[in-house]
């Protein structure tokens, strides 16, 4: 059953579907993290938590794969280019100590996924040193090992890590649906521009659709009908 989407219905496969949750980590979503240090209103990103949670629970219910990413660096910052660390005038930079530990350093409290979306044992977490989830990570190896061809994409921020990942996935042949109300930006105009870009020219990068449409299609496709 296809999912109602733009620019046209998204073909929901019988197999090969996974949920990708991008960077729903404390450093970006909670006060005191990197997003806050950059002067952003982190409450904007928290608005999507219920939708991402609903999708997470649905994929668990139907025993479908879930992958989460966290952007972070090794403690010695050997995988963080100086250009990334030094850019901008933020009061806190990558590796500096903030209210939730060292900013964007793997293993620090702020680098953890928010409690509302905590992964279950066996669900894969992909650390990534860049914006895209495919660069210098094991994501593609996991997808190939499980025969994944279609990705339902959620997370933050829409125009940076989410869009970069979607473009990377598109170049590798994955069919991607970006869930409009399960992705967010500190800048609403940037989110809207990204949605329009990815679905332009008959889906040059992929599709966009709503959480409820995805949930309804999953129920129709994967629910087991019990006959009394």
Q: Which residues form the catalytic set?
A: 23, 128, 161
Is the N-terminal amide bond of 147 cis, ω within 30° of 0? no
Measure the CA–CA gap between 4 and 103, rounded to whole angstroms. Answer: 39
Measure the CA–CA gap between 52 and 81, rounded to whole angstroms. Answer: 31
Measure the CA–CA gap between 195 and 153, rounded to whole angstroms. Answer: 12
Angle of the 49-61 helix axis to the 211-222 helix axis, nearest 10: 10
């Amino acid at each position: 059953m296809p999912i109602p989407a733009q620019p046209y219905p998204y073909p929901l496969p019988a197999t090969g579907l996974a949920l990708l949750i991008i960077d729903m980590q404390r450093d970006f979503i909670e006060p005191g993290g990197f997003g806050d240090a950059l002067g952003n209103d982190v409450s904007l990103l928290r608005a999507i938590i219920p939708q991402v949670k609903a999708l997470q629970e649905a994929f668990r219910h139907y025993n479908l794969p879930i992958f989460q990413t966290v952007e972070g660096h090794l403690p010695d910052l050997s995988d963080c280019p100086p250009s990334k660390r030094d850019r901008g005038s933020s009061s806190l930079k990558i590796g500096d100590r903030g209210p939730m530990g060292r900013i964007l350093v793997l293993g620090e409290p702020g680098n953890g996924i928010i409690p509302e979306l905590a992964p279950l044992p066996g669900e894969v977490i992909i650390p990534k040193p860049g914006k895209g989830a495919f660069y210098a990570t094991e994501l593609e190896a996991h997808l190939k090992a499980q025969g994944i061809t279609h990705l339902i994409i959620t997370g933050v921020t829409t125009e940076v890590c989410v869009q970069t990942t979607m473009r990377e996935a598109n170049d590798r042949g994955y069919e991607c649906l970006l869930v409009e109300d399960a992705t967010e930006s500190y800048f609403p105009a940037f989110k809207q521009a990204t949605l329009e870009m990815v679905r332009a020219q008959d889906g040059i990068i992929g599709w966009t659709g709503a959480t409820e449409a995805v949930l309804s299609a999953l129920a129709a496709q994967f629910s087991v009908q019990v006959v009394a």
